[in-house]
Amino acid sequence: MDFSYSDDTESLRAHVRSFIREQIIPYERDARQTPHGPTDALRQELVAKARAAGLLTPHASVDMGGMGLTHVQKAVVFEEAGYSCLGPTALNIHAPDEGNIHLMEAVASTAHKQRWLRPQVQGHIRSCFAMTEPAPGAGADPSMLRTTAVKDGDDYVIHGTKWFITGAEGASYAIIMARMEDGTATMFLSDMDAPGIRIERQMHAMDSCFAGGHCVVTFDGLRVPSANVLGEVGKGFRYAQVRLAPARLTHCMRWLGQARRAHDCAVAYAMERQAFGKPLLEHEGVGFKLADNDMDLHTAQLHILHTAWLLDRGDSCNFESSRAKVICSEASWRVVDRCVQVLGGRGVTDESVVMRIFQDMRAFQIYDGPSEVHRWSMARKIGQAHTRAQQVSA
- Pick out residues in 190-249 that bind a copy of itself (CB under 8 A): 203-207, 214
User: Which class for 117: exposed (0-12), middle (13-18), buried (19 or more C-beta within 10 A)?
Assistant: buried
367 binds a copy of itself (CB under 8 A): yes
Site stretch for a copy of itself (CB under 8 A), options 80-88, 98-106, 182-190, 379-387: 379-387
Quote the strand ranges of 237-345, DSSP E. Answer: 274-275, 278-279
For the CB of residue 332, give the shortest distance to a copy of itself in the complex, in Å. 14
Contact 163, 203 (CB under 8 A): yes
Site stretch for a copy of itself (CB under 8 A), options 119-127, 228-236, 254-262, 296-304: 296-304
Task: Compare residues 187 and 286 and give the one whose CB is closer to a copy of itself.
Answer: 286
Which member of 327, 335, 339, 357 binds a copy of itself (CB under 8 A)?
327
340 binds a copy of itself (CB under 8 A): yes
State which of positions 149-178 bind a copy of itself (CB under 8 A): 163-164
For the CB of residue 276, give the shortest distance to a copy of itself in the complex, in Å. 5
State which of positions 270-289 bind a copy of itself (CB under 8 A): 270-276, 279, 281-288
Site stretch for a copy of itself (CB under 8 A), options 56-64, 106-114, 180-188, 368-376: 368-376
Site stretch for a copy of itself (CB under 8 A), options 84-92, 96-104, 179-187, 347-355: 347-355
CA torsion 339-47-311-246 (nearest 10°) is 70
For the CB of residue 173, give the shortest distance to a copy of itself in the complex, in Å. 23
- Reduced to 3 states, what is the DSSP secondary structure of residue 195? coil
348 binds a copy of itself (CB under 8 A): yes
299 binds a copy of itself (CB under 8 A): yes
Total residues in contact with a copy of itself, by rule CB under 8 A: 86
Task: Compare residues 115 and 362 and give the one whose CB is closer to a copy of itself.
Answer: 362
> CB-based contacts of 350: which residues, under 8 Å, 6+ apart?
356
339 binds a copy of itself (CB under 8 A): no
For the CB of residue 53, give the shortest distance to a copy of itself in the complex, in Å. 20
Strand partners, 150: 157
> CB-based contacts of 371: which residues, under 8 Å, 6+ apart?
325, 326, 329, 330, 365
For the CB of residue 284, give the shortest distance to a copy of itself in the complex, in Å. 4
Q: Tally Cβ neighbours within 10 Å of residue 137.
A: 19
Residues 130 and 71: their CA atoms lie apart, in Å, by: 25
139 binds a copy of itself (CB under 8 A): yes
22 binds a copy of itself (CB under 8 A): no
Which member of 7, 141, 154, 182 binds a copy of itself (CB under 8 A)?
141
User: Which class for 326: exposed (0-12), middle (13-18), buried (19 or more C-beta within 10 A)?
Assistant: buried
Strand partners, 38: 33
For the CB of residue 68, give the shortest distance to a copy of itself in the complex, in Å. 17
Which member of 47, 56, 72, 339 binds a copy of itself (CB under 8 A)?
72
Q: Which residue, 148, 101, 109, 107, is CA-closest to 127? A: 101
**22-26 contact pairs (CB < 8 A, 24+):** 23/49, 23/53, 23/90, 24/49, 24/84, 24/86, 24/87, 24/90, 25/83, 25/84, 25/86
For the CB of residue 384, give the shortest distance to a copy of itself in the complex, in Å. 10
User: Within 13 Å and on the Cβ side, how many CA atoms surround 13?
Assistant: 14
